[in-house]
């Protein structure tokens, strides 16, 4: 095996004989061609990211065509330590070499025992002393289903409160509580956000109005929403567009649910294990949820999901939530190693400082490019919302102050469309979200060797989820490539770019309307 240096300085082990560039290119194209001929129309990432990963280390992925990429998608936020971190590989090898069984259903093993010990030492103090853990099927969505069953059994109630823009998974119960799914058993509440605040005020006042709405819905006997079995929330909505919940709002949700004996379920599938600058994102607000749903990083890049909850909720029946794959020993070992490494190396603090720095630099970029409407995030969970730089906001054009007024906004000031309608006491409506520009930035990033995620309610948010181990030098490389991609898109979609596109359409004989 040879060790090759990546552009970003990471060493990757690989075969010494590398295929000729043209052979590599045709192997890469052949695999992609067969993929589109044989795999489902429901595939997702594979459409926007036509790469064929063959080797990876840390932040870097090498494709079958020999190209290298900086990976800020990180398995949709799974890879806290990046690809193939040595402590993760060592933990996996140790299990393999020990002769331990790899499949054990939900039986006790030393590997599982060590995993639970490491997991419990990270839990918020109020939960750690009274916690139970249920090992469910290996996906986040399965843990969400289990959490719903748990609180339904414990409360004898049925309904679930969830939030607009939420994402909890793809199985039917989790889907009911997610973004755009119509549903009967789940009541959807406003999630606070500054840039597209549903109340048009943003900031602490917007969050306060969202909390009051929730409270009035629960206390109004004619609201049509009976007392629910639980409330589920993401401390930072990830797929919904990187929306960090304000800490005060989180405390309000805790008080509202505690006062009414409604179990609060924190979905930390994406935010957990240091990602947001705290080991668990609920720590920012200091709240203790009754139930935590965990997956992604806790398996150290392998499939694993669990529900952790207060022991007095543990009244469901044996087998109430089961599954064949509840005992993945390799994932437990990889997860134990990952959690211990994050804790011992204080990678949460690193995520907090680096994330703040990245936000600052991206906000400077937003000043330069009107196609960036908002920059937001927490720790290394960062979103850049692309908007139509030329168009005005969604409201009608009218004279208004065009400022955040007395109430202020935590969003990126100055991002709203000039001349948009402003109701006194509210902020100007933001410019229309642009999924087209976001997709263009993602493509331009890929051309420059940078992999980014797309998300948000309108698929208009560029998402960065780098590993917590990303170096300063790599961070600079990521930001440079992203800035370059945004500049290229802004150039081609600005007034000149639009003229060029119209010219091209005319010369192809296409209409412009």
Decide whether 264 or 485 has the Cβ nearer to ligand PMP.
Answer: 264
CA angle 145, 115, 250 (to 5 degrees): 50
Shortest Cβ 191–ligand PMP spacing (Å): 12
Decide whether 208 or 234 has the Cβ nearer to ligand PMP.
Answer: 234
Shortest Cβ 298–ligand PMP spacing (Å): 11
Q: How far apart are CA 355 and CA 358, in angstroms?
A: 5
Decide whether 134 or 270 has the Cβ nearer to ligand PMP.
Answer: 270
CB 189 within 8 A of CB 159: no
- For 285, the token pair is 């607000």
Shortest Cβ 302–ligand PMP spacing (Å): 12
Give me the count of residues in the chain. 513
Phi and psi based region of residue 334 (left: phi greater than 0; alpha: psi -120 to 50; beta: remaining):
alpha
Decide whether 168 or 321 has the Cβ nearer to ligand PMP.
Answer: 168
Phi and psi based region of residue 77 (left: phi greater than 0; alpha: psi -120 to 50; beta: remaining):
left
Shortest Cβ 234–ligand PMP spacing (Å): 5
DSSP state of 284: G
Instruction: Give me the sheet containing 53-57, strands edge to edge.
Output: 53-57, 60-63, 68-71, 450-451
Q: Which residue has the closest beta carbon to ligand PMP?
A: 140
Decide whether 325 or 483 has the Cβ nearer to ligand PMP.
Answer: 325
Q: How far apart are CA 163 and CA 232, in angstroms?
A: 8
Q: How far apart are CA 352 and CA 276, in angstroms?
A: 7
What sections of 220-328 are H helices per DSSP?
Answer: 247-259
Write out the residues near ligand PMP by the rule CB under 6 A.
76, 139-141, 144, 167-169, 234, 238-239, 267, 269-270, 295
Decide whether 327 or 393 has the Cβ nearer to ligand PMP.
Answer: 327
Shortest Cβ 169–ligand PMP spacing (Å): 4
Decide whether 238 or 373 has the Cβ nearer to ligand PMP.
Answer: 238
Shortest Cβ 171–ligand PMP spacing (Å): 7
Instruction: Give me the sheet containing 461-464, strands edge to edge.
Output: 372-378, 381-386, 461-464, 453-455
Shortest Cβ 168–ligand PMP spacing (Å): 5
């Amino acid at each position: 095996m040879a060790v090759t240096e990546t552009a970003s300085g990471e060493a990757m082990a690989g075969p010494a004989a590398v295929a000729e560039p043209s052979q590599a290119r045709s192997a890469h194209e052949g695999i992609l061609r067969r993929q589109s001929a044989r795999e489902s129309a429901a595939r997702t990432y594979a459409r926007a990211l036509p790469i064929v990963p063959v080797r990876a280390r840390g932040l870097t992925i090498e494709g079958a065509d020999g190209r290298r990429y900086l990976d800020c998608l990180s398995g949709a936020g799974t890879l806290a330590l990046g690809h193939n971190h040595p402590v993760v590989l060592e933990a996996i090898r140790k299990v393999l070499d020990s002769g331990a069984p790899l499949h054990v259903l939900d039986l006790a093993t030393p590997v599982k025992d060590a995993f639970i010990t490491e997991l419990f030492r990270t839990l918020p103090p109020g939960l750690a002393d009274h916690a139970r853990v249920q090992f469910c099927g290996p996906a986040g969505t399965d843990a969400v289903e289990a959490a719903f069953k748990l609180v339904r059994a414990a409360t004898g109630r049925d309904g679930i409160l969830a939030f607009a823009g939420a994402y909890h998974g793809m199985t039917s119960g989790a889907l009911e509580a997610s973004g755009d799914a119509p549903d009967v058993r789940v009541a959807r509440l406003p999630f606070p956000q500054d840039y597209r605040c549903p109340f048009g005020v943003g900031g602490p006042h917007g969050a306060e109005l969202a909390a009051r709405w929730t409270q009035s819905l629960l206390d109004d006997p004619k609201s049509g929403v009976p007392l629910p079995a639980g409330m589920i929330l993401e401390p930072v909505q990830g797929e919904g567009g990187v929306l960090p919940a304000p800490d005060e709002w989180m405390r309000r949700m805790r008080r509202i649910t505690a006062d009414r004996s409604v179990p609060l379920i924190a979905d930390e599938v994406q935010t957990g294990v240091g990602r947001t600058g705290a080991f668990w994102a609920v720590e920012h607000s200091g709240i203790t949820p009754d139930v935590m749903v965990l997956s992604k990083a806790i398996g150290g890049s392998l499939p694993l999901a669990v529900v952790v909850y207060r022991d007095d909720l543990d009244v469901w029946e044996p087998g109430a939530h089961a599954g064949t794959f509840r005992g993945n020993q390799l994932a437990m070992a990889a997860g134990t190693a990952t959690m211990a490494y994050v804790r011992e190396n204080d990678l949460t603090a690193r995520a907090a400082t680096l994330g703040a720095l990245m936000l600052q630099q991206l906000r400077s970029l937003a000043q330069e490019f009107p196609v960036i409407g908002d920059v937001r995030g927490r720790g290394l969970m960062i979103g850049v919302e692309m908007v139509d730089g030329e168009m005005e906001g969604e409201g009608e054009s009218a004279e208004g102050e065009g400022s955040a007024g007395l109430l202020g906004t935590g969003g990126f000031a100055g991002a709203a469309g000039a001349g948009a309608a402003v109701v006194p006491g509210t902020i100007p409506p933001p410019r229309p979200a642009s999924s087209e520009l976001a997709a263009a930035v993602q493509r331009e990033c890929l051309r420059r060797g940078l992999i980014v995620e797309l998300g948000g309610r309108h698929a208009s948010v560029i998402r960065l989820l780098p590993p917590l181990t990303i170096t300063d030098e790599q961070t600079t490389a990521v930001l440079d490539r992203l800035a370059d991609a945004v500049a290229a898109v802004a150039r081609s979609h600005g007034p000149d770019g639009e003229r060029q596109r119209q010219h091209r359409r005319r010369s192809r004989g296409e209409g412009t309307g």
